[in-house]
Amino acid sequence: MAKRKSSSPGTEPIEKSEADKQQPWTKVLVIAVALLIIIALSFGGYQLFVHPTWAQVLRDIFIILMALQSLAIGVLLIILIAQIINLSKLLREEILPILNSTNETVSTVKQTTNFVSDTVVSPLVKAASTIAAVRGGMKAIFKRRRPPEA
């Protein structure tokens, strides 16, 4: 980010920050490393072409390394399968009973809600509606008539 010196408005010189100053050097460094890698690979390819016995030895070394890598991947896959088996056993033995218990609790709550609704709320609603009906009837019967205004 650029820092500005405060002089007069409109003619403020822009000063480069440390990150802006280092950016060209990082580009030069990346380009130099890429060139060195390309030169090293070219030189190595030339040497392998000139000395075929080196190429055979290097080929054999890479075959051995690939075999070791395949062996390591096989061992890691076996470990991964064992961990997946342990996870499925954990889910079956511990989590499934918890889910069953939760389902039982939800069922109990639902039954309790239905019971409270049937025994408490419904009679209260019926009583309130009866009281409202009686009150409305009383108002209709004993309604005071106001004299007409002139």
Q: Where along the chain do its domains lie?
A: 28-116
State the average pLDDT over residues 111-136.
89
- Torsion, Cα 90 93 94 96, to 10 degrees, reads 110
What DSSP state is assigned to residue 5? -
Q: Over the chain, what is the mean pLDDT?
A: 85
Checking if the pLDDT of 11 tops 80, the result is: no
Helix (H, G, I), strand (E, B) or coil at 15: strand
Distance separating alpha carbons of residues 63 and 71, to the nearest angstrom: 12
The token pair that represents 9 in the structure block: 């408005």
Helix (H, G, I), strand (E, B) or coil at 7: coil
What percent of the chain is predicted at pLDDT more than 90? 45
Instruction: List phi, psi (to 5°) of 146.
Output: -90, 145
Tell me the pLDDT tens digit for each residue of 48-104.
Answer: 889 889 889 989 999 999 999 999 999 999 999 999 999 999 888 988 889 899 999
